[in-house]
Structure 1
Amino acid sequence: MDYKLMAKEILEHIGGAENVANMTHCATRLRLTLKDTSKADDEAVKGINGVINVVNKAGQYQLLIGTEVPKLYDEFENLVKGTSNSNFEEKNTDSSESIISKIFSSVSAIFAPLLPALAGSGILRGLLILCVQLGWISEDSGTYSILFVTSMSVFYFLPVLLAFTSARRFGASPYISALIGAALIHPDFIALIGNAGNGATTEFFGMPVVLMNYNSTVVPIILSIWAFSYLYKFLDKKVPENLKLVIIPLVSLAIMVPLTVIIIGPLGVYSGELVANGVNWLIERSGILTGIIVGGGWSVLVSLGIHWAVNPIMINNISMHGFDYIVPFTFACNFAVMGTTIGVYLKAKNSQLRSFAMTGFITIALSAIIEATLFGLLVKNKKLFLAQIIGGAAGGAYLGLMQVVANSFVFGSVITLPAFVGDNPNNFIQAIIGLLISMMVSAILAYSFTSRDERLA
């Protein structure tokens, strides 16, 4: 695939580089904020080789590309910033993009680069637990310790990793930002807490400081780097060029680390816990209803590209509590999509449609990427979309009833099933039952809704 040519063709059909107000990407989509969406020719963009679909929702012009989207993004970014639009970042700080759209864009840009690390670590963690339960690895062995550290490091060092990706999103120095995150989990800082835990106090030049353990946290560092981006841009404009090397990092660290531990950090910890606890409270009080809503509605969020707003809650639950209730519901959605492909494959006679359905099944089973099937098959056929929603809701209801949890943040596929392995072996069994319900219900409905002469639109 020639991604440079692809990027050039996309620019030509969306009004040129000067029409691009902002850009980012997630795991499968190129996400653009256009100054004037009327200049974009949707059909022409869809016709470009490599573009699976176009969605203009939530204030973003989204191009579904697939897992190779980072390669396209690099070429696209070079073209946009290499034209007369070279002051792209500075020009668009006051973009007319809505607040909601900015939040979704920011969450997507911050977490997308970390998804491979989170998914890989999650699968490794599940496999390690499984090996322990089967007696293949002893928890007292060096092998276990090494693999445990390997699988959990991404969560422990989240403040550093998120600081880096947040800085790239907000326009601050990624390396100074990483240092701010590292300061929050330095052993000497953590030692100040002692045995008191969160809420212990110390002082900074006479000012009281409420201490928190920031390893594995999500919200505090994102808020901190967002605030730091304004300081960094101010210093970058005011400090003479020959003094920037020393003055900017000195002032940045001297201001931001104390500001974070005194004000931003505690607010971030408590606000993050409040949101996560609220979601978990709802699930524990009405697991069935939550399962129906999330299991059935997750594909709708994915189709709109706004499912990223929920991912931080799941990551926060895993990193803080070691488990999460929402991840299983997203599995129910994915397995329901797989079920619809089974129903279509078994009923339809058209070889092209059957081939597309089988490709979709294999793709989801191995990679958990549902967008191609979602846009290429379900969105175009409302009955099949309904079959998937009902299947996801049915499986989600069962998972919620049985209070199934995931022990890792992963995306729903066959190879990520070890995420349900834990100290309670019944959790894995109930997860499999719930996912089979999703798949079977959607498969039966899809088979019923599909005509034998159905064709791929």
Structure 2
Amino acid sequence: MKNMSMNFKQAAKDILENIGGADNVGNMSHCATRLRLNLVDRSLANDAKIEAIPGVLNVVYKAGQYQILIGTEVPKLYAEFEKLVNVARGDAPAELTEDQEKAAKGSIVSRMFSAISAIFAPLLPALAGSGILRGLLILAVQVNFIKTGSGTYTILYAASMSVFYFLPVLLAFTSAKRFGASPYLSALIGAALLYPDLISLMGKTGNGAMTNFFGIPTVLMNYNSTVVPIILAIWAYSYLYKWLDRHIMENLKLVVLPLVSLAVMLPLTIIVIGPLGVYSGEGIAWFVNWLIGRSSILAGVVVGGGWSVLVSMGIHWAINPIMINNIANNGFDYICPWTFACNFAVIGMTIGVILKARDTKLRSFAATGFITIVLSAIIEPTLFGLLVKNRKLWLAQIIGGAVGGAYLGLTKVVTNAFVFGSVTTFPAFIEKNGSNFLNALIGLGISAVVAAVLAYIFTNRDEKLA
């Protein structure tokens, strides 16, 4: 029987039932044509019944693996099979009914936040671990235990920062899982954006440099550490992938589908989606400069309160060159303290949650976020693991950052270096004018206290880590 008529969900269920259930699956994988299982007890598998399942072509047992021949459609069967095994083992929630799915969809905003949460959730351990390692490395440098530029420093720096540099690759994989595209082809699209030869086309111009693709003017940008371009690209790719999957003949899919995917999506991403990141970043940078020219207090409110929103979209990097340029030309910068206000509001929010919540997982996650930000200024694990899911807490953080930013703007606090906001980078506030450091402490204290109080109020005692 042809696989085109195979009901993958039903076939996965029938296979699981006839191999002895989820507890009998030691390991599972698939190759180009076969579902490969390592069974705990081979005798529990009923070969005859499995071979009779529509779409199953053959069953063999070789090298300790129970191999079920399906054909090139095996990834679809594997996806359903893996889901059933995870549900049976309690590693994933049971499938929703049709009514539950409709209720869960909610508004466009709800679906957007749900998608962001699903995309970042698998990366939270890597982000959190990398953040803490980065903080410890900063601390080791400051106490002269490790020297910047040494082999030890470089190795540990690479270990702590690679997750951020290669974020487009990781996000491509998790986005594909969410949107229903090939995770591996999606990761390859993300990796291609970071290919050294592509980055070198920018030369000394950097973001905004121009090239062409078959005569089409193309804006280039450095995609490392970006978020929005790759998520949008994989969302668009999911539609192309599903269309190709329906229309390409089975015996050609193995070659033609990835060929068309790469040939279409990489140019499309660079020509159409990438410039959105370039121009949106430039627009935000212009807006921040305009605000500073009008009112430093208002600018402090907007940047201090909105910085986490920019971080969530991965376009906060557009403002970094302004801060670096200010430090280089003037020896100080006003914007950097406002980013501190955001980070210390996140710290305050975690304190409020720790004091109010009873759920050990939620408190543990908040505590990890607290340590990560205090040491390394990396807010992404807490942002995507908690704030994006709980908009009341995100509002508490935004308000805290805005109030603290307003005070920093009012007192015209500056930093003498381009740094990321944490306790370990406080020396950047040391100026000949001693009030600068004092006002920085007061402003950041305001951010933390306001966010902590609001988070405490907004958190229910029985709140769970969603």
TM-score, reference length from structure 2: 0.55
Per the alignment, residue 239 of structure 1 pairs with 248
SS in 1 for 2:94: helix
Contact conserved, 1:162 with 1:218, CA < 8 A, in 2? yes
Q: Is 1:203 the equivalent of 2:212? A: yes
Q: Does 1:79 align with 2:84?
A: no
Where structure 2 has 5 or more consecutive residues not aligned to the other structure, the ranges are 1-85, 324-335, 371-381
Do 2:134 and 2:160's aligned partners in 1 also have CA atoms closer than 8 Å? yes
C-alpha change, 1:445 and 1:257, in structure 2 (3 Å) is closer
Q: CA shift at 1:236, angstroms?
A: 1.2
Q: Higher Cα Rg: structure 1 or 2? A: 2
Which residue number in structure 1 is paired with residue 312 of structure 2?
Answer: 312
Q: CA deviation at 1:310?
A: 5.2
1:226 to 222, 232, 235: 235
Residue among 345, 352, 359 paired with 1:332: 345
Distance across 2 between alignment mates of 1:79 and 1:357: 22
Per the alignment, residue 169 of structure 2 pairs with 160
1:189 pairs with 2:202? no
Q: Distance in 1 between matches of 2:369 and 2:161?
A: 21
Q: Per-residue deviation at 1:159?
A: 1.6
| Contact 1:158-1:216 within 8 A present in 2 as well | yes
In 1: Cα distance, 2:289 partner to 2:187 partner:
30
Q: Which whole-Å CA distance do the structure 2 matches of 1:84 and 1:117 have between them?
A: 34
2:312 maps to a residue whose letter is P
1:249 Cα deviation after fit: 0.7
Superimposed CA distance per residue, residues 58-84 of structure 1 (whole angstroms, 9 cap, x where no aligned partner): xxxxxxxxxxxxx99994855207x78
Offset of residue 209 of structure 1: 2.5
Once the two structures are aligned, what percentage of the paired residues are identical?
54
| Distance 1:337-1:424 versus aligned 2 partners, 3 A rule | closer
Q: Mapping of 1:53-452 within 5 angstroms?
A: 75=90, 77=92, 79-80=94-95, 97-275=106-284, 278=287, 282=291, 288-289=297-298, 311-313=311-313, 315-317=314-316, 321=320, 325-326=338-339, 328-332=341-345, 334-335=347-348, 338=351, 364-368=366-370, 395-399=404-408, 401=410, 402=413, 407=419, 417-418=423-424, 420=425, 432-437=441-446
* C-alpha contact 1:329 1:399 (8 A) present in aligned 2: no
> What secondary structure is seen at the aligned counterpart in 2 of 1:80?
coil
Give how far 1:278 is off.
3.9
**Counterpart of 2:226 in 1: which secondary structure?**
coil
Q: Say if 1:434 and 1:341 are closer, same or farther in 2 by CA, change over 3 A.
A: farther
CA distance in structure 2 between the aligned counterparts of 1:229 and 1:85, rounded to whole angstroms = 25
For 2:153, give the aligned amino acid: Y
| Cα distance per residue 1:330-375 (max 9 Å; x no partner) | 5336426747988xxxxxxxxxx9x9699998875554479xx99x
Distance in 1 separating the partners of 2:299 and 2:145: 37
2:95 counterpart SS class: helix
Residue 116 of structure 1 and its aligned partner are, at CA, apart by 3.3
Check whether the contact 1:159–1:214 (CA below 8 A) recurs between aligned residues: yes
TM-fit CA distance, 1:85: 9.5
Q: Runs of 5+ in structure 1 lacking a partner?
A: 1-70, 299-306, 343-352, 380-384, 410-415, 450-455
CA shift in 2, pair 1:367/1:125, >3 Å: closer
Structure 1 length as normaliser, TM-score?
0.56
Per the TM alignment, residue 167 of structure 1 is displaced from its structure 2 partner at its CA by 1.4
Matches of 1:320 and 1:228, distance apart in 2: 29
Deviations 1:193-212 (A, max 9, x none): 22332333333233333322
| Deviation (angstroms), 1:406 | 9.3
Higher mean alpha-carbon deviation, 432-441 vs 128-137, is at 432-441
How many Å apart are 1:176 and its aligned residue?
Answer: 0.6
